[in-house]
Chains A and B, each alone.
Chain A
Amino acid sequence: MLSSLKKNPILKWLSSIKITVVCLILLFILTFWGTVAQVTQGLYQAQEIFFNSWYFLAFDFLPFPGAQLVLWVLFFNLCAVSITRFVYKWSHIGILIIHLGLITYFVSAFVTLHFVEESNVTLLEGETSNVSAAYHDWEISVWEQGQSPLRDISAYDVKFLQTEQLLDFNHLGFSLRVKSYFPNAQAYTGSVEEGSRPLNVSGITQITRLDISSEPEKNFPAVLLEMTSGKQTSDVILFGKEGRPTPVEINGKSMYFQIRRKRYELPITITLNKFEMEKHPGTEIASKYRSFIEFKHGDIERKAEIYMNHPLRFKNYTFYQASYSIDQMGRMRSTLAVVKNFGRLLPYISSLLTFAGLAIHFLLMAFKRKK
């Protein structure tokens, strides 16, 4: 079968060394260009344009392949080469393992790009949380007012939200229609016609679109929704800068609506018992800080310390000490970066395979020369 595949014209074309060289040159250009572009466009924007995209318009008119496209082509090129050119003999085992390591790098990059979840959790001393918040993504979340310390949240991501989109909350007895959505907005209070005031906890009556900032943390979305439940219809405005949810009475139940940073449910409940910070002598600059936490998962209860280069790992989650802050009341908050990545070991496996392949290949060559 392998010999017939070797003759396949598509595979032969795909395995061309010219494709490999062109892709490597393009990767070099993208890496350099994307790194420099971070200065003017910001890290996130540069990453999206140069590394996460399939293509972009260079100088606003010239289509240029993005790193995702180049890496896919390089991956297929490598797979094709492994079918058409590789010699599967014990004497070439080193080369084969090296290339297996390279393929694993590609798999690792794919897993990281598509499945990694990065978020953060910020806690006051004594506070507990079982969710983390996204850095840039937002959600419209709804929950029912209740006495239980645990609340059931129903949420829709706003990333791909469009006007006239219907958000189904039938299990709660209503639906929402998006009348307008702005990824970055400004909100205003003010008088409106009697009977047309939208529901909003801060008294917002109007939202306007703002240009999207290249720094995504500066974008605050707003949405005007039409809530329908049977014959009851109300307009609801939600704005990302509001710290409080908007209460809405629906069929005798008190529901809360909020547009907020997207939440990810964690596998553990984490409590910040204590936060310690030391400063460089005579300055206000922190020299080191650490969080003393306690986490629970089912019957497992453990204490841990999280500080620089000493994260907490639990299943596919890693908790890093990211930063801290002091509010105007002087309360200290610890911020832990949370990364969920089930493929976190793949880069290590790739490196080990590549190293092993190189070692075996050079040892075999040395042995051959000696003979």
Chain B
Amino acid sequence: MKYVLLLTILILTASCEQSVELRRYTELAQMPEAPTQPMANPHGNMLPQVDSSMQTDDPVMQKMLEASVAEVDLSWRTPKVWDEQRGSGMRLATFISRDADPIQCTIVSLSGNSGGLQANVTRWIRQIGVTLESKDALSEFLKKQQTLQSDGDLQVQLIDLTEFKTDQQSMLAAIVETPDKTIFVKMTGSLKAVEANRTPFKELCASLKIKTE
């Protein structure tokens, strides 16, 4: 009997409710927190300031996404050889070519300078599986890149990554910096497909215009 009592006391003690106590600590002030459950898949769609497990059809989620997106009234002319899909949130539009080996091109608008030219070009180079030997190599690469003036008088910095002949995806990109936002136009696909769609890409970039009231 005393053994059963001993065992019961043991179990009851273990099942006791825990009290809630105040904890205090100091934390370095950061920008809104990074996702705490990053996915190992490098192609996982992780959105800034947003947990990767969130569903995009969540109404609360949509509101949060929209809050982080720069509101910009941007217009463009869709190239005739591409089909356009209207975007949502930070992605303003997606274009797909009608080829058997298609490209995908997106227009994204984000607040602020979004990391700057060098940081963005560095990660794009990484994304296509290339590692530059040094910062000098990056500077040399950037010097060779062209700019164009769009119909809306926007300075468009073109980034041509097709010079890196890789087996992986290739890329043509463009960055438009305005005082309070940055617009990214990014075309990805096989090297052959990207080179074949160079002209429509430039046409799209040249047509960018910020609508004024």
Contacts and interface: CB of A to CB of B under 8 A. Distances in A.
B11 A150 contact: no
B98 to A, nearest CB: 25
Contacts of B123: 326, 329-332
A45 to B, nearest CB: 17
A60 interface: no
Contact of B53 (A123, A143, A189, A217): A217
Q: Is the interface of B mostly helix, strand, loop or mixed?
A: loop
Q: Interface range on chain A: under 10, 10 to 19, 20 to 34, or 35 or more?
A: 35 or more
B27 A120 contact: no
Given A243-B51, A325-B39, A325-B44, A128 B60 contact: no
Nearest to B68: A243
A152 interface: yes
A288 interface: no
Contacts of A115: none
B35 interface: yes
Contact of A156 (B21, B32, B33, B44): B21
Interface residues of B, number: 63
A168 B119 CA distance: 45
Contact of B27 (A151, A157, A331): A151
A284 interface: yes
Contacts of A371: none
A160 B26 contact: no
Contacts of B124: 330
Contacts of B45: 328
Interface stretch (B12-20, B136-144, B155-163, B194-202): B12-20
Given A260-B33, A326-B127, A332-B123, 14 more contacts: A10-B3, A155-B24, A156-B20, A160-B19, A160-B20, A204-B60, A241-B61, A241-B64, A243-B50, A325-B44, A326-B42, A326-B43, A328-B47, A331-B119
Interface of B: 2-3, 10-11, 14-15, 17-30, 32-40, 42-54, 58-61, 63-64, 67, 90, 108, 110, 114-115, 119-120, 123-124, 126-127, 129, 167-168
